[in-house]
Structure 1
Amino acid sequence: MPVAGKTFGIVGALAAFPRRLIAREVERQGGHLRRGVTRQTAYVVFGRGLLAKATDADIEARFEREAGSGRRLLSENGFLRLLGLATASGTSALPRQSLMDQAKIAPRLFDLLSLFDAFEHDNEPYSFRDVILARKYAGLISSGAGWGAIARSVHRSSHVASLTALSLHHEGSKTIYARRAEGLSELDGQLLLDLGAIEEAELEELFALAEEAEEAGDYDQAAAIYQRYLSIDRSDSVAAFNRANCLRAAGRELDAAHDYARALKLDPSFAEAWFNLAGLMSERGRIDTARRHLQKAIDVDCDYADAIFNLAKLEFDAGNLLEARRWWARYLELDKESEWARTAERGVQFVNLHRLPHAPRA
């Protein structure tokens, strides 16, 4: 599957490889790697660091949302294999359905475990060892273990395939153990972090703190944390975009415009940044600039309904009725049901009415 021209978003910290090195490889192959998910994101990578930060329910909700959006979901190992940085070991020949039939594991649980590399392969064809692992996991789940407990525990082993030779058990629902000759013990071995991974962990922590402050409405604090983050990683367009949103919410419009521009310099295809910068320019009365930015957002994403609607309204307010009608008509091709669609319909009707020749007065 080609990487060139594709945008990859990462949810959660990567455990298997430093993010900076991955980003460099993606760019070398002509793709784009972004933290989080934007409109241009085609593939979402679920980093195993998410297991330490989020509950099972939160991860399941994110899984459903991203899968429902039509984006391709990748595990860390799947991402590395797509980039040609890793290969799957062992002989694989089994289709997904055959594995699930043999293991008697629920498809949704199987997909969640696959997303966090609990199997030797991240997609079909699968190996016989994957069937054995699926059977073991299905047994743990049927006895009360959660999929998250399995996903969090299996990577304590040096390689998940080695678990096929162990008898797996759980106590409560949080930790998986192996039964050995000397009794129950935790699954041995942990991934070793190099210096790059330590810095990556700090970045993840900063980004999470900034998001928490932003969600709590503490915009100045969030902007300060995003700035600290950007002082370490100057290449993150999403962090620059988020900081711009915080600055705008805090009333610091000039600083916000600077960071929207920074996000766009890093990623000219960032449609949301063009859109938000257009809104800021419109509020400041810079209508021509706002028009250009909205047009740029639409050039990047031709189905960006919000940008199309706002451009129609901008043209209407400027007295450009035919242009307003054209953009409202385009909006109605994308949305026929919402209240915004009702507004667009009324706009089209208004232009039609006022463009008709009036009969002379008697």
Structure 2
Amino acid sequence: MSDTEHEMATQSELDGPVVEPTESAVKLDGLRVGFVGKLGGVTKREAQQLIREHGGTPVDPSREEADWIVIGADELPLADPETLLTADMREAAATGSLEIISETQLWQRLGEMDGDSPAKRLYTPAMLADLLQVPLATIRQWCRRKLIVPTKTVHRLPYFDFQEVATARQLAAMLAAGASAAMIERRLAELSRYLPEVERPLAQLPIIVEGQRWLLREGELLVEPSGQRRIDFDAIEKGNLAELAEDEAAGETLKFEQLPPPHELDPLEMLDFATSLEELGRMEEAADWYRAAMAAGGPQPEVCFQLAELLYRLGDTSAARERYYMAIEMDEDFVEARANLGCVLAETGQLELAVAAFEGALAFHPDYPDVHYHMARALDDLERLEEAERHWREFLELAPESPWADEARDRLGIIET
């Protein structure tokens, strides 16, 4: 874990890999495609390259006519169309001479949601935490509560695609406004009751947070979870989300005080309680409850890992190291436990042991970018520079848009143009 708690290339290389269109891909046949807003999973240059590969012509929609305008995933839901779309664009869309689509719709039409396309670039929890500047533990909480859903899991290591990155950005904004994960989950449950056919409201719906209310945008209307529609925007009450979060937390604390004695709880209930305590920042109590759950139900690799993460955050690196070891002993291909063990060993100056732990992780998951990154740093510290360089390059190949990629380029002397 680095301090943030994780914690010359040719132009064609910098543009990313060339992806052959799949059989199901739409042929653009000269269609002019423009992008507005921040893209969620690729750079604008990569997106323009993909348009060319599919036979289209990328254009600047602010200066040139376009057939399609793509709204970047990080801009959705689009609360105010005027912020991104000019009056001419909106008029053209109304007459049918221009089609406005989301970034996700574009990748689906081009058949880029499978394979190794940049649109399918994946982020590990540590990368996502660093990208959003939130604690790694927060990413894990969101994942446990299914607020974000891994695209795939390799040896217990979750990976998230650009759609989940966009969802996580929304969560991070709510978190910064004072909302807890539990509060967000409850609000989403309310919305789900109103729209039961929507499986993931935060990812699929244009949600607007107005003080203590969560509203859905339907054209010019705002809809409350109860189904009541509002049109008087000035009358929307602007509460203080931070105060609401404090009230929510106080309510949760009251529930904890009413909890039955430990001997009346089963191990799963103990784990739920431990997780809730951890989310409220009561970490020492949470650690005790994780231990109690394992004492009652037997140790499990996932629980050992959660406890190790918590102990690390408490500053008890020695105890965290032992719990990581225990998780690996119970599940030898638990690659994230191996990676985090290596990080703890490196942090405590045991670099040779750290390299061994990283080698173990790569033996099970050779394409784990985080491990190549941490391995490269450890090998640099050991002055095994040629070996380190190989891992820096491997890391860049696997995760060229990672928050840590600039560090790798600096180390390798790569100048991005």
The TM-score, its normalising length taken from structure 1, stands at: 0.43
Larger Rg: 1
TM-score, length of structure 2 as denominator length: 0.38
- Between 1 and 2, higher relative CO (CA 8 Å, sep ≥ 6) is seen in 2
